[in-house]
Amino acid sequence: MQPFEYANPTSLNDAFKLLGSEWGQADVLAGGTDQISLMKEMLHTPKRVVNIKKGQFVAPWDMRHVVDKCRTAGNDRVFVTERGSSFGYNNLVVDMRSLAIMRKFVPVVFDATHSVQLPSASQGDQKQGDEKQGDEKKDQPASSGGQPEFIPVLARAAVAAGVDGVFMEVHDKPQEAKSDGANALDSHKLRGVLKELLAVHHAVASGEIAVRRVRRTLG
């Protein structure tokens, strides 16, 4: 791994100062793909690896255009991250077919924690038409909820589907996290989840080896 410097600004002013001192070295890709061509200038060397998060409104096959745009700019070291797809209001679902579809043209990492996020649904238990409950909560700031109990389930499914990597946000006390605590994995559960993922990975790999042997035998 190439050495890198980690910065942890604690305020917006500190963040602005940091970006100001590193101007030309930092950029934000959001809201479209128009800046991906900038990677030709800063990210074309083999030392840089680019992670492109799949928009939760984007079809998996359409990510080929984004990946091709990056590669055309001169960078072949690119992968995409799957983090669920919008499904109605305040909900995400994961279509495991998308992993296989995108892996045909690029390595894929599965984001197991953002995939269980419930966008802007911290009041997701509010029932439609419950005006009293709505009046009590309407002045409270909206934030994203989550269903972290499904992190291991989706992660196991993604590994079984052959994903190239798994990303998880982990926190010692998710309820106290500054961001995304509602969908973070409790660090005390991490070891168990990783053991399960390794077991699934080894089982899939063994199965693939067995299938190849049978095919050669039947040849």
In the chain, what's the furthest Cα-to-Cα distance?
A: 70
Q: Give residue 214's identity as a one-letter amino acid code.
A: V
Question: Other CB atoms closer than 10 Å to residue 55's CB: what's the count?
Answer: 17
Q: Tokens for 138?
A: 């309407």
What are 132's two structure tokens? 């009293």
- pLDDT-derived band at 208 (thresholds 50, 70, 90) equals confident
* pTM summary value: 0.70
Q: Does domain 32-122+140-218 have CATH number 3.20.20.70?
A: yes
Which band of pLDDT confidence, cut at 50, 70 and 90, is reported for residue 112?
A: very high
The band of 137, judged by pLDDT with boundaries at 50, 70 and 90, is low
Report the SS3 class of residue 189.
Answer: helix
Q: Which tokens sit at 15? A: 């963040």
